[in-house]
Structure 1
Amino acid sequence: MKYILPITLALLAVSAYAAEPAAAPTQLEAGLVNPGAIDKPAWFKESFLDLRDDIKEASAANKRLVLYFYQDGCPYCAKLIQDNFGKQSITDKTQKNFDVIAINMWGDRSVTAVDGKETTEKVFATDLKVQYTPTMLFLDETGTVVLRVNGYYAPEKFELALDFVSGKHEKNGSFKEYYSKLKAEGKAVNADKTYTLPNALPAPLRLQDARKDSKRPLLVVFAQQECDTCDELYNDILKRKEVAYSLSNLDLAQANPDDTANIQTPDGKEMTVAEWAKALEIKYSPSLVFFDTAGKEVFRTEAYFKAFHTHGALDYVTSSAYTWMPEFQRYLQHRREALAAHGFPADLME
């Protein structure tokens, strides 16, 4: 399913947690270890944030529009700017094919949506369900989001995302299908490794039947066999003691999004793993998808994360914080401040 910038943008009331912008000075005073704010590249477009005009101007220049959601103190935003846009090939390709507009996830600048309705950056981000930074929305000429990148992609995969959108390959299928085709042709190469999730439910997955008496949430790790970003998750992060404690509060399952084996989904549907992954719009390995006891998806991560954010995602679900604090970033901010107060400053990129 494609995400579409709202034709009628509802100005929903923001929760109390989203009412205040993230306070970088408080984080620094608490002794947190993160890279702080980082300047965006000078070639990013300076916009009045009237998206109607921005789309027209991009189309007139034979480009497409990218909305880049960021926040100060975001280590993955710094990694995007330094590692990805630090590569000349990526910078050249982006400048040639896209107008990039930076939007502060917690900002108060006025944004005019495609339908002409005015809102603020932070409400706009909330309405578009932006949970991570960086989040990048790639728009076509009508304002339809043809690719959504939630979180950080490594340079090689990020460059393939640029190729996918600039080449208008969304007309022929999803980014996952495009990426899989390139892998099959040897144009997208990862380390040839397989991974095992300890204490996971056995294959073939019968996720509703296996969990009929369980009161725990379910975590399904979608990971391809050839997956360089999976190596760190499986062989480092998931093996850490504090992360293992959090995993013990979940039912666990593992699925290869390319697998054609028949399974039963958490809500009782019968299909192949590949069909389920397509229905869930899984486009990144590894993706961590969380389900409640009724088999309904409640949260996911689908980009590169280090231990702090991965551990935070596990606790966000097992504590049910997602039910009363819908902004994951607010949850992480409180977590960082609480840890620092107890004498454990968080290294966000450890």
Structure 2
Amino acid sequence: MARQLRVVATPTIVFLAPDTGPVLQLTGYRDARAVRHALEYVHGRHYRSQAFTEYLATREMPAVYEFRDHPQFAVATYFKGYRKPLAILFEDRHCTACARFQERTLHHPDVIAEMKRFLFVRLDADSDRPVVDPAGNMTTPAQWAKTLGLTYRPALVLFDEGREIFRIDGQLYHFHFKEALRYVSGGHHRRYPNISAYNAARREELLQQGIDIDYTE
């Protein structure tokens, strides 16, 4: 069933409607507000008239987050022709999970080590300033996030050789987050059919080396 529903990572929640089948898929952990929005979207059958991203844009969400700097953040707005590993992080001022994500995940030593292998750029998902995406399209962070169909903040999209390889559109704790980075920067996406296959092999590799795997935050 996971293959049929195109589930590539866990945890994943798939919402099914009796008349249309899958109407919403959420990958990764979500905070209470995000889960409530998803439940209201499906229960109210808003999927019949609008995408989840459009529905979220109509919700009242107060500003709760002040953008924070990070030593690995680069300033860049032109990505056409960039062939090396590229990480685009989308945050906004309404993000209830961004502060904790910065403190617990982005500043974890193992994550920082993997971030160094990317051009790692943080964008304000509400911004209208011009950027050029890897395909050469002139856009804005707000429009780019909408075009990508991102439904959560923070959201991370990982590119290699100019194409999207993997995205994190939900909460991941530090181990899975840094392994997602390694999956792309190490070129493991060329060897494994998906990140689930990579994670299984990587888990076995670490355990054989006697390394404890910490799945906690």
Match of 2:200 among 307, 312, 333: 333
Does structure 2 retain, via aligned residues, the 8 Å contact 1:336–1:345? no
User: Which residue pairs with 1:231 in the alignment?
Assistant: 99
Q: Which residue of 2 aligns with 1:284?
A: 152
Select the structure of larger CA radius of gyration.
1
Contact 1:132–1:329 under 8 Å retained in 2: yes
Q: 2:136 aligned to 258, 262, 268, which one? A: 268
Equivalent-residue separation in structure 1 for 2:196 and 2:143 (angstroms)? 31
* Aligned-residue offset at 1:144: 4.5
Deviation per residue, 1:172-193 (Å, 9 max, x gap): 4332332332234xxxx57332
Q: Report what 1:221 is aligned to.
A: 89
- State the identity %: 29
**What's the TM-score once normalised by structure 1's chain length?**
0.57
Secondary structure of residue in 2 paired with 1:311: helix
After superposition, the C-alpha distances for 1:23-54 in whole angstroms (9 at most, x for unaligned) are xxxxxxxxxxxxxxxxxxxxxxxxxxxxxxxx
Following superposition, the deviation at residue 141 of structure 1 comes to 4.0
What is the aligned partner in structure 2 of residue 63 from structure 1? none
Unaligned runs of 5+ in 1: 1-120
In the alignment, which of 66, 74, 94 is matched to residue 193 of structure 1? 66
Between the aligned partners of 1:197 and 1:206, the Cα distance in structure 2 is 20
Give the corresponding residue for 1:246. 114
Q: TM-score, normalised by structure 2?
A: 0.89
Do the aligned partners of 1:193 and 1:226 also contact (CA within 8 Å) in 2?
no
Maintained 8 Å contact 1:194/1:226: no
Q: Report the Cα distance in structure 1 between the residues aligned to 2:197 and 2:74, rounded to whole angstroms.
A: 32
Distance (whole Å) between structure 1 residues aligned to residue 111 and residue 57 of structure 2: 31
- The within-5 A match list for 1:41-120 is none
Structure 1: distance between partners of 2:57 and 2:125: 11
**SS class of match (2:58):** helix
Aligned residues of 1:217 and 1:318 also touching (Cα < 8 A) = yes
Unaligned runs of 5+ in 2: none
Q: Give 1:235 deviation, angstroms.
A: 2.0
Taking the aligned partners of 1:244 and 1:192, their CA distance within structure 2 comes to 22
Aligned residue for 1:324?
A: 191
Partner of 1:32: none
Once residues 209 and 160 of structure 2 are traced to their aligned partners in structure 1, the CA distance between those partners, rounded to angstroms, is 31
Q: Is the 8 A contact 1:207 1:268 kept in 2?
A: yes
Deviation, structure 1 residue 340 = 2.4
Tell me by how many angstroms 1:278 deviates: 1.2
Aligned partners of 1:280 and 1:254: how far apart in 2?
16
Higher relative contact order (CA 8 A, sep 6+): 2
* 1:223 Cα deviation from its structure 2 partner: 1.3
Tell me, in whole angstroms, the C-alpha distance in 1 between the residues paired with 2:142 and 2:4: 30
Offset of residue 337 of structure 1: 2.6
Q: State the partner residue of 1:296.
A: 163
Which residue is 2:54 aligned to?
177
Select the residue among 253, 256, 260 that pairs with 2:124: 256
Structure 1 residues 335 and 234: CA distance shift in structure 2, 3 A: same
How far apart are residue 244 of structure 1 and its match?
Answer: 1.5
Distance in 1 between residues matched to 2:205 and 2:93, nearest whole Å: 37
Distance 1:334 1:240, change over 3 A: same
Looking at structure 2, the residues matched to 272 and 145 of structure 1 have their Cα atoms a distance apart, in angstroms, of 30
Look up the equivalent residue of 2:113 and give its one-letter code: Y
